[in-house]
Amino acid sequence: MKIGGFASFFAPMAAPAAIGNLARTMDGAGLDSLWFGEHVLLFDEMEFPYPGSPDGRLPVPEGNGVPDQAATIAYLAGQTSNLRFGTGISLVPQRNPVYTAKEFATLDWLSGGRIDLGVGVGWCKEEVEACGYDWHNRGARCDEALDLMIKLWTEPVTNHAGEHYTVEGARFDPKPAQTPHVPLIVGGYSRAALVRAAKYGQGWLGFGLTPSTSEPLLKGLDAALQGAGRSRDDFEIVMMPGDSSLDAARAFAGLGVDRLVPLLQVGDEDYNRKNVDGLVDLAAKL
């Protein structure tokens, strides 16, 4: 099982030099990957609470926000050689899929094929609507966006006539460095999300789970993969765990998790080194 990290990174509180130091330290230690979340806007009042905290609010310090994923990854890819970068997740239904395909194909090309695009439909209705999109059809729109992005990444000329997007006679370059395209790591716990992962994904991403809460979801994922004529043989399980202890890591490995990416706070050089050394030690004991 490969070990990476998920960066808890808010700006302007965390300096650019700090996240750069973390990425370089992870790269030098031979760790797998560094992942980033996405929220372009934050709201004090939301119709649906954030599922990852007891009070339903995003744990972002006042006066701070979540930096743009693509810009952050570009900044760090230029400072590293082997470390992969992932999004956990990119909120596809509130993005233009043509621009998203271009952003991540370019990042993959510039980084020499070190990008994993984690995708999902999101939970914040206010954010989706503020970006100009409808909340209620976000699942269907996400599926069509993924279909269009794959065409743009793999076809010399793209033609797409769908319910939400139309593209005719379009040439798209540069193509991603990875083949057949940037890996899509699909997040979400609903049946629709698991079916989406089985249909479009090269992997599934779990967030904030324990081994016991992961097990039934992985059984559902296996059923979805079987329904799509696939198996985990060509599919990765990426886990951002709610429990990153050694015992939990061993249990995740026993469930077939391929990549474990515990939450990492970003700090000064000594703080980052301590966290990275902890991940290296975890990897050595598995």
Confidence category of residue 183, pLDDT binned at 50, 70, 90:
very high
Residues 239-254: tens digit of each pLDDT: 999 999 999 999 999 9
What digits encode the pLDDT tens for the residues 252-282?
A: 999 999 999 999 999 999 999 999 999 999 9
Mean pLDDT value of segment 51-65: 87
162 by Cβ neighbours in 10 Å (0-12 / 13-18 / 19+) ranks as middle
Give the pLDDT confidence of 88-131 residue by residue, as tens digits.
999 999 999 999 999 999 999 999 999 999 999 999 999 999 99
Residue 185 sits in a domain whose CATH number is: 3.20.20.30
Kindly report which listed range (55-59, 75-79, 103-107) carries the lowest average pLDDT score: 55-59
| Residue 153 scores a pLDDT above 80 | yes
Structure tokens at 194: 């698991």
Q: How far apart are CA 3 and CA 73, in angstroms?
A: 18
Phi, psi values for residue 144, rounded to 5°: -70, -35
- Residue that wins the pLDDT comparison between 228 and 51: 228
pTM: 0.97
pLDDT at 22 (0 to 100): 98
What is the reported pLDDT for 259? 98
- Model confidence at 216, pLDDT cuts 50, 70, 90, reads very high
CA distances from 28 to 14, 25, 98, 179 (A): 21, 5, 34, 26
- Residue 54 clears pLDDT 90, i.e. is over it: no
- Residue 53 confidence (pLDDT): 79
Confidence of residue 34 (pLDDT cuts 50, 70, 90): very high
The neighbour count for residue 247, using CB atoms within 10 Å, is 9
Question: What mean pLDDT value characterizes the chain?
Answer: 97
Give the Cβ contact number of residue 103 at 10 Å.
Answer: 21
pLDDT at 185: 98
CB 109 within 8 A of CB 60: no
Specify the pLDDT at position 140. 97
Q: What is the pLDDT of residue 56?
A: 82
pLDDT at 51: 83
Host domain of residue 35: 2-285
Task: Quote the pLDDT of residue 273.
Answer: 98
- Taking residues 157-161, what's their average pLDDT? 98
For β-strands 184-187 and 115-120, DSSP reports them as parallel
Residue 58: pLDDT above 90?
A: no
Number of domains in the chain: 1
Res. 52: pLDDT tops 80: no
